[in-house]
């Protein structure tokens, strides 16, 4: 089975992300999704951790299809030892998951090494496929992480 060709918008987006987070990269799935991995994201004050890895999925058809939700490689709580939201503990939201009986929210059948990631249910208010990019989405994530109270 041949590997799927890389989406040029993903390639450009990863290059742009690397200007701020040099270890950024993506991993494609056989379904056309790309897991974008952004290590060494410094968390603003107000969190119980200082640094994490941020993950999000660029869906097939990106950028016409926009990312939705994001994940962190570790659980992050407010420095008051509480969550800024009700943590999700639901069945798998993604149709790529093969076993919804296990619960969770990450397509662990595609990327099992990240199956314990913390799910942040976060939805964009605007997305312009002619202007928005992986970098744009990462900026949205950073804004969300700044809003802690």
pLDDT at 13: 96
* Position 117 confidence tier, pLDDT thresholds 50, 70, 90: confident
Q: Which CATH architecture has domain 8-146?
A: Roll (3.10)
pLDDT tens sequence across 10-59:
999 999 999 999 999 999 988 888 999 999 999 999 899 999 999 999 99
Chain position carrying tokens 């004050």: 45
Contacts of 69 (CB under 8 A, 6+ apart): 56, 57, 93, 105, 119, 120, 121, 122, 123
* Position 64 confidence tier, pLDDT thresholds 50, 70, 90: very high
Residue in 8, 5, 40, 2 with CA at minimum distance from that of residue 138? 40
Contacts of 42 (CB under 8 A, 6+ apart): 50, 51
Higher pLDDT, 48 or 104: 48
């Amino acid at each position: 089975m041949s590997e799927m060709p890389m989406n040029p918008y993903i390639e450009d987006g990863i290059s742009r992300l690397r200007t701020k987070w040099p270890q950024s990269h993506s991993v494609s799935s056989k379904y056309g999704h790309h897991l974008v991995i952004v290590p060494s994201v410094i968390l603003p004050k107000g969190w119980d951790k200082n640094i994490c890895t941020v993950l999000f999925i660029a869906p097939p058809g990106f950028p016409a299809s926009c990312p939705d939700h994001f994940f962190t490689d570790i659980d992050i709580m407010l420095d008051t030892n509480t969550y800024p939201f009700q943590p999700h503990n639901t069945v798998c939201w993604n149709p790529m998951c093969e076993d919804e009986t296990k619960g969770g929210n990450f397509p662990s059948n595609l990327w099992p090494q990240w199956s314990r990631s913390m799910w942040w249910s976060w939805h964009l208010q605007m997305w312009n496929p002619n202007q928005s990019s992986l970098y744009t989405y990462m900026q949205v994530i950073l804004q969300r992480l700044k809003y802690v109270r």
